[in-house]
Structure 1
Amino acid sequence: MNHAEQINQLFQAAQSGDLANLHLLLASHPELTNTENQDGLTPLGYASHYGQVEVVRLLLEHGADVNALSHSKISFIPSNTALHAALAGERSPEVIQLLVEYGASTSILDSDGQYALHSAAFHTDQIELIEMLLQHGADPNALNSAGQTALEISLERGNTSTASCLRAAVTAHQQ
């Protein structure tokens, strides 16, 4: 099997949750852990996007860089971290918790100029995810590259639960 085929197998396993195949690939080719595919995406970001918690755990245990910024070549996918990918994808609380436990930074901008909290405010009305990000250092007053706060984004999107949570966080942050 050539290198490109190994990478394709790795990403298929990451998407589908095929732990057995992933174990075999990483045991014989540990360098694949942080290798990008032809689209510039990382295995950790890919698994995070698809909500594959056990794959995410395995990749992290094999040394995947939790804060690696992908180099996306897909026009509608920004270059981002696994945390951004998780928030834009399945939004699995278990995956997001695992990423922040392994040190995922909430203060990295993706190529669209969004912090993780801004991505969450855009994509979800799940307070649990917003609170998790805030507990792990997300700044509720941070401005994205367009000069917006996560609260402003949540209001624009009609994510009322997220907006209420962020209002409380902004107030608490000011005291």
Structure 2
Amino acid sequence: MGDSGVPSACPQQDGDAALPECGDGGAESPQNCSAAPADSQSPSEAPALDGFPLKHSNTLTNRQRGNEVSALPATLDSENLVNKPDERGFTPLIWAAAFGEIETVRHLLEWGADPHALAKERESALALASMGGYTDIVTMLLDRDVDINTYDWNGGTPLLYAVRGNHVKCVEALLACGADLTEEADSGYTPMDLAVALGHKKVQQVIENHILKLFRNKKKKK
């Protein structure tokens, strides 16, 4: 967490989120090459074939036996799968938004992904897309009527994350859709406070122009 009290990067790939490694990087050499054939050994004396990528089984499959398939892929609950969270509560949509995968986000939404889903610490697809400055994804999510002012464990809102990242276009999109300029992070910073503290001049200008526009519209209504 930075001095502003708002995390400065997407979720770190710590031990829990790291990709699994495949051994030490290379296939092992077959061992016990002089061992007797597998069919002459008991199950407990099977040759060491861990280094081979494939293992052939002499057990007949249902298809080989002529049996009907017990469960067809069509019976799978695709909606539950597309919204299935991981151990941190991140759904596929949240991950795709966090890494700017625009087409993946689009397809997930078409397949029924929930844009309102929150992870265990209230992380949202909108907040993580704003953090990365992925304006197209932000717009896509806003079109689905997500909560534009949703906050996470740190009090961070999508607008605060966009300001911190100096993502001008993203800030403009969020303000145009009604993002609240008075929302504060747990550190007490408002979006304008944060822009000033970080020296983000263009973001400051965007916020100032938005405030002036709000005042003009208010006067017209009187």
Task: Identify which of 42, 45, 54 aligns with 2:94.
Answer: 45
Tell whether the 8 Å contact from 1:51 to 1:86 is kept in structure 2 after alignment. yes
Task: Identify which of 129, 137, 154 aligns with 1:112.
Answer: 154
| Cα drift, residue 29 of structure 1 | 4.4
Matched, 1:139 2:180: yes
- Name the CA distance, whole Å, in 1 between partners of 2:103 and 2:149: 25
Q: Which residue of 1 aligns with 2:145?
A: 103
Measured on the aligned residues, the alpha-carbon RMSD in Å equals 2.3
Matched, 1:81 2:141: no
Structure 1: 4+ residue segments shifted above 4 A: 25-29
Residue identity over aligned pairs, in percent, reads 26
Q: Which residue of 2 aligns with 1:66?
A: 115
- Name the CA distance, whole Å, in 2 between partners of 1:36 and 1:159: 35
Q: Look up the equivalent residue of 1:59 and give its one-letter code.
A: L
Tell whether the 8 Å contact from 2:163 to 2:194 is kept in structure 1 after alignment. yes
Q: Tell me the matched-pair count.
A: 144
The CA deviation string for residues 61-119 of structure 1, in whole angstroms up to 9 with x for no partner, is 122221211115xxxxxx31101111223x22221111111222211111110111111
- Name the CA distance, whole Å, in 2 between partners of 1:142 and 1:168: 18
Q: TM-score, normalised by structure 2?
A: 0.59
| Cα drift, residue 36 of structure 1 | 1.1
**The structure with more helix, counted as a fraction of residues:** 1
Tell whether the 8 Å contact from 1:33 to 1:59 is kept in structure 2 after alignment. yes
SS of 1:161's partner is helix
